[in-house]
Structure 1
Amino acid sequence: MPSIFSRIVAGELPAYKVAEDEHHLAFLDITPLVEGHTLVIPKKEVDYIFDLPPAELAALHQFAQRVAKGVKAAVPCRRIGVAVIGLEVPHAHIHLIPMNKVADMNFANPKIKVAEERMKELAAAIAAQVPAAEGEAAPVPLESKAERETAASSPAAEAPADAAADSTLEQLRQLTEGLYFVSESDSPLAVVSYQAPAGELDAQELLKLLNQPADTPVQTQELTHFLRNHTADDGVLGNVELANRFKALQMFLKQELEDVKVYRIGKGPQLDAYALGRTPGGKLAGFKVTLIET
């Protein structure tokens, strides 16, 4: 099973790219410590960074050096901190972290949430500042989620909103195929889609969409917390490949949908949980599972 990063390299998952060459890729971390937190990876999937041959390890750091210059030029900071952790994703990667104090590098700090528009701005600003490698032409803009959306808004490439929604649902179907949520029983992940209300999605609006009684209890939960036992390599699935698939699904939902939340509908011992966010086409999309909690 390819790592999440290999799927980004292959174009199967989106990313806020900031630099790329034949053998390396750099993109913004979607759960950053600070704004501008960037990941640098070799395109070849190698779990442990120090298993890379010496020449490839040196080339990765040389690429990271250029990216770091771009990050520092685009994001106000004193230095760019460098870290290699290597436990979360089984694909070698370097963290480049804008820092003004040592505490900015503490991975025990709560991760921040950066709005999508701001992520687009940061990616574009960093990409514009990454210097070309010696002997190369100046870098050209990279294809990213932001650029795809900009291109899609031009008259020559305009497509119906339903087409974008259908594409999102198809990707969700691929990502959830064969996945089960484990509570006290296993529940398959079912892709769902609804027409989003014009205003905020509150409990009453959601219950109307689901044809549930108005007094049905509704609890909200953050997606990362809801999936925490399924994205952990040593979680309830007992399978690193399945955990990586849940990580890929989580990343997709957070990058492609807005305001993603998990809504727990009803009371135990059996209740339904919906992970939903807004698509660019104005719909709600995500997945549903049935939980057994006694």
Structure 2
Amino acid sequence: MPSIFSRIVSGELPAYKVAEDEHHLAFLDITPLVEGHTLVIPKKEVDYIFDLPPAELAALHHFAQRVAKGVKAAVTCRRIGVAVIGLEVPHAHIHLIPMNNVSDMNFANPKIKVAEARMKELAAAIGAQVPGADGGAVAPLDTKGSRETEETNNPAAAAAPAQDSSLGQLQQLTKGLYFMSESDAPLEAVSFPAPSSMNDEALAKLAGQPTDAKVEKQELTYFLRNHTADKGVLGDPALANRFKALQMYLKQELEDVQVYRFGSGPQVPVLALGKTEDGKLAGFKTVLTET
């Protein structure tokens, strides 16, 4: 009988996949020790990892290294712990576990429950950060959690002036992304000083629109729903994962994120904005075409 992991490989069972190549697959553990706990497997079913031929064992670890870089870039932690147990499922696999303390690697710890929506966000964020097969580096996202970890480990960092890197991170996340409506328009990262009042007139000025322009608000998840769906308008799960990663960053790193639509078409300017830690506004802009 095929192992549960082989059934995931064949598509018989679903999984929160984060990376895949011809011979390997990585996906989130559905009973994780911590958020971001990822399993890396060879697609070929082999019970004991050290029964793999040397070249295949080396290739599995090379793939795991790439995935670990993605996990480290997407999940706040000090290190990525590595474990091979081999008793739970008769299919060789490597555990990649984001860790801040040695105790995070204790498999006797109670497993945590992570909501489905959060698992999808994590899978997308990790997948978007996994380097290519050539080993090209992916810059880790600068998140609130990563800054807090750095300040804990490096008191000098806490004493240094805060650096607003939201715009740079958003530029990285939006690069090459297009919003599809009746025409395609690029997403462009933006940052503004916060106006004294977030009324419609102030928002219209930020968007470069007449101050009496009609302003319609939408929730971010609703606005991006067709672009984050695996079988949505993009027709490309990898692109959908990039939109999921952008959505996750905005919701985690900014406060009071809201989408604003201006005017009634056929060209509808859009701003997606939230507040940064230092009180600025950041997000992205694009244009919808509605006829």
Q: Same fold (TM over 0.5)?
A: yes
Matched, 1:148 2:147: yes
Following the alignment from structure 1 to structure 2, what is the Cα–Cα distance between the partners of residues 58 and 12?
17
Give me the TM-score of the superposition, normalised by structure 2.
Answer: 0.56
Following the alignment from structure 1 to structure 2, what is the Cα–Cα distance between the partners of residues 204 and 14?
38
Q: Who is 1:190 aligned against?
A: 188
Q: Is the 8 A contact 2:267 2:290 kept in 1?
A: yes
Q: Is the 8 A contact 1:13 1:252 kept in 2?
A: no
Q: Who is 1:122 aligned against?
A: none
Following the alignment from structure 2 to structure 1, what is the Cα–Cα distance between the partners of residues 196 and 68?
34
Q: Compute the displacement of 1:2 (Å).
A: 5.4
Q: Is the 8 A contact 2:68 2:80 kept in 1?
A: no
Q: Is the 8 A contact 2:78 2:149 kept in 1?
A: no
Residue-by-residue CA offset, 1:27-86 (whole Å, 9 max, x unaligned): xxxxxxxxxxxxxxxxxxxxxxx9x754649999x97964536x6xxxxxxxxx79989x
Matching residue within 203, 227, 235 for 1:238: 235
Q: Who is 2:245 aligned against?
A: 248
Q: How does 1:32-43 map to 2 (within 5 A)?
A: none
Following the alignment from structure 2 to structure 1, what is the Cα–Cα distance between the partners of residues 71 and 95?
23
Matching residue within 190, 207, 212 for 1:210: 207
SS of aligned partner of 2:245: helix
Following the alignment from structure 2 to structure 1, what is the Cα–Cα distance between the partners of residues 68 and 180?
25
Q: Are residues 237 and 56 of structure 1, via their aligned partners in 2, closer, same or farther at CA, if it must alter by over 3 Å?
A: same
Following the alignment from structure 1 to structure 2, what is the Cα–Cα distance between the partners of residues 19 and 285?
29
Matching residue within 169, 172, 179 for 2:170: 172
Q: Write the letter of the residue equivalent to 2:226.
A: N
SS of aligned partner of 2:288: strand
Larger Rg: 2
RMSD: 4.3
Q: Who is 1:227 aligned against?
A: 224
Q: Percent identity?
A: 50
Matched, 1:264 2:261: yes
Following the alignment from structure 1 to structure 2, what is the Cα–Cα distance between the partners of residues 282 and 90?
26
Residue-by-residue CA offset, 1:76-128 (whole Å, 9 max, x unaligned): xxxxx79989x957959xxxxxxxxxxxxxxxxxxxxxxxxxxxxxxxxxxxx
Q: Are residues 83 and 279 of structure 1, via their aligned partners in 2, closer, same or farther at CA, if it must alter by over 3 Å?
A: closer
Q: Is the 8 A contact 2:80 2:96 kept in 1?
A: no
Q: Who is 1:289 aligned against?
A: 286
Q: Are residues 290 and 147 of structure 1, via their aligned partners in 2, closer, same or farther at CA, if it must alter by over 3 Å?
A: closer
Matching residue within 107, 110, 117 for 1:68: 110
Q: Who is 2:72 aligned against?
A: 11
Matching residue within 272, 277, 283 for 1:280: 277
Q: Are residues 53 and 241 of structure 1, via their aligned partners in 2, closer, same or farther at CA, if it must alter by over 3 Å?
A: farther
Q: Write the letter of the residue equivalent to 1:204.
A: E
Q: Compute the displacement of 1:234 (Å).
A: 0.3
Q: Write the letter of the residue equivalent to 2:81.
A: D
Q: Compute the displacement of 1:145 (Å).
A: 3.6
Q: Are residues 186 and 58 of structure 1, via their aligned partners in 2, closer, same or farther at CA, if it must alter by over 3 Å?
A: closer
Q: Is the 8 A contact 1:14 1:255 kept in 2?
A: no
Following the alignment from structure 1 to structure 2, what is the Cα–Cα distance between the partners of residues 268 and 64?
56
Q: Write the letter of the residue equivalent to 1:202.
A: N
SS of aligned partner of 2:247: helix
| Gaps in structure 1 of 5+ consecutive residues | 25-49, 72-80, 93-143
SS of aligned partner of 1:271: strand
Q: How does 1:107-126 map to 2 (within 5 A)?
A: none
Give me the TM-score of the superposition, normalised by structure 1.
Answer: 0.55
Q: Compute the displacement of 1:10 (Å).
A: 3.6
Q: Is the 8 A contact 1:8 1:14 kept in 2?
A: no
Q: Compute the displacement of 1:269 (Å).
A: 1.2
Which runs of at least 4 in structure 1 moved beyond 4 Å after TM superposition?
Answer: 1-9, 17-20, 57-60, 62-67, 81-85, 87-92, 150-155
Q: Compute the displacement of 1:23 (Å).
A: 4.4
Q: Are residues 155 and 146 of structure 1, via their aligned partners in 2, closer, same or farther at CA, if it must alter by over 3 Å?
A: same
Q: Are residues 175 and 63 of structure 1, via their aligned partners in 2, closer, same or farther at CA, if it must alter by over 3 Å?
A: same
Q: Write the letter of the residue equivalent to 1:210.
A: A
